[in-house]
Structure 1
Amino acid sequence: MGYARRSTALVVENDEAQRTLVSLLLEESEMDVIECESAEAAILVLEESGNNVSMVFTDIELAGMMDGVELACLARQRYPDLKVIVTSGAPRVRRLPDGTLFMAKPWSPIDILRVAEQALH
């Protein structure tokens, strides 16, 4: 019997404590996690292994030149089936690409587990 491949989540967040928390929650949901603190690093991951990534969880504020909205746009263009969640402590100001979910901070751990569930199905 073959093993089902685990889904991979890409967590892009410049705040290390938040990045670690989201990663731990997603690992609880049986997902492999790749952590990045900038959109540029996340794009490199997607270029190398985008077909294995089933979910991107990104903050709007990131280290580097690009923000999470730009990352969401690029990710959705290249991988239309990718589940993209954008989070921010600030009110949403710019339009997000179609099919992208916005989660206002502070979110609760159950919110993260819920989106992970959806990404797995």
Structure 2
Amino acid sequence: MAELPIVLVIEDEDAIQAIVEDALTEGGFQIATVKTGEEAVTLLRGGLVPYRAVVTDVNLLGRLDGWDVARAAREIDPHFPVVYMTGGAADKWPVLGVPNSILLQKPFAPAQVVAAVSQLLNAGSQQTGPA
């Protein structure tokens, strides 16, 4: 049986973290969760776990925000799947968000997180020919 893809979830609100974790677990993913951007970037750069996607809140505890986490992930892999979650920073996504990412506006349905991660993973796994 194939290993389940591991998704790194960065969310400092326990209630939202639990909802996202449950949805992704039911959707067939393994989950690792942290509460700060610093923890997330350390894990991503450490390379000990083969994370397949990042689901991050935009506003996080600590110095780094979700925009920073996504940029760090893209430094490691230019096509790394990124899903942002935000209550109030959606207007900054066109400027601060990384290309080919998905933004979910809070509140969102748990199934939307699974759909967003699956969509990005599927897009990344398809080999595309010349345009």
* Structure 1 and Structure 2 fold alike (TM over 0.5): yes
**1:32 aligns to what?**
30
Query: Structure 1 residue 46: deviation in Å?
Result: 0.8
Matches within 5 A, 1:72-83: 72-83=70-81
**1:19 aligns to what?**
17
Count matched residues. 119
Secondary structure in structure 1 of the residue aligned to 2:31:
strand
The ranges of structure 1 where at least 4 consecutive aligned residues each deviate by more than 4 angstroms after the TM superposition are none
Matches within 5 A, 1:65-104: 65-94=63-92, 95=95, 96-104=97-105
Query: Structure 1 residue 18: deviation in Å?
Result: 0.4
Query: Structure 1 residue 116: deviation in Å?
Result: 3.1
**1:107 aligns to what?**
108
Secondary structure in structure 2 of the residue aligned to 1:23:
helix
Identity among equivalent pairs (%): 24
Gaps of 5+ in 1: none
* Structure 2 Cα separation of the partners of residues 107 and 118 of structure 1: 16
Query: Structure 1 residue 51: deviation in Å?
Result: 6.3
TM-score by length of 1: 0.89
* Structure 1 Cα separation of the partners of residues 81 and 6 of structure 2: 11
Gaps of 5+ in 2: 123-131
* Structure 2 Cα separation of the partners of residues 23 and 71 of structure 1: 18
* Structure 2 Cα separation of the partners of residues 48 and 70 of structure 1: 16
| 8 Å CA contact retained: 1:7, 1:120 | no
Of residues 46-55 and 34-43 in structure 1, the stretch that sits farther from structure 2 once superposed is 46-55
Query: Structure 1 residue 75: deviation in Å?
Result: 1.1
- RMSD between aligned residues: 1.6
TM-score by length of 2: 0.82
